[in-house]
A and B are shown apart, each in its own frame.
Chain A
């Protein structure tokens, strides 16, 4: 089974509007971390935001916020006031706890290509 599912291969948003990128995950661990990365066409993965499974508040970093719904196992990324420079691939990733034997590496989804329209 897919551990990270991103169901939107591509999304379009008008400049200055907000957009939500979906991410659902599958884990039996109680402790895990969720990450979002941005990958422009240049290829470098840029860290955006982190949410821990025990964090009570939804994470926010500038224009990025994470809509974390633990019971639904979803961790959607919200980008407010979209800019042309936000056009890129966006990846959701998870790190599970040591108990599952995969404490170190990240497991990524297949990504969502976001295009911001002028």
Chain B
């Protein structure tokens, strides 16, 4: 299977604990995105990498959140001192940079990690 994969698929944690999620993009894709989706809403952008460089971060990404993509391949998203408001689906997507306009660059999503903070 050459799609985007995410691990774990589900995570239950207690408030105050740290959690880390992993995303493996499609192998030739050089761009990787993290989104958060709460119940009944569409995904909201968190952050974006081109290769190993984190180029953009949303103001939704508080100081408790950190994302890395150390070798330009897989990425991790860590949430420190989790809060109940962090309960959501965390989606990862990847895309291939176009030479020309990037408007039609299609993002392919993984199955998501569903986080529940008790």
Contacts and interface: CB of A to CB of B under 8 A. Distances in A.
Interface of A: 4, 31-33, 35, 37, 42-47, 50, 52-53, 91, 93, 95, 97-98, 103-111
B93 to A, nearest CB: 7
B48 A104 contact: yes
16 contacts: A4-B42, A33-B103, A37-B109, A42-B111, A44-B111, A44-B112, A45-B43, A50-B104, A103-B102, A105-B48, A105-B56, A106-B43, A106-B107, A107-B45, A108-B44, A111-B40
B103 A47 contact: no
B22 interface: no
A91 B109 CA distance: 13
Contacts, number: 68
Given A37-B109, A43-B91, A104-B55, 14 more contacts: A43-B89, A45-B109, A47-B106, A50-B106, A93-B42, A103-B103, A104-B48, A104-B56, A104-B102, A105-B48, A108-B43, A108-B44, A110-B41, A110-B42
A47 B43 CA distance: 14
Contacts of B93: 45
Q: How large is the interface on B (under 10, 10 to 19, 20 to 34, 35 or more residues)?
A: 20 to 34
B65 interface: no
Interface in B84-105: 89, 91, 93, 101-105
Interface of B: 31, 33, 35, 40-45, 48, 55-56, 58, 89, 91, 93, 101-112, 114
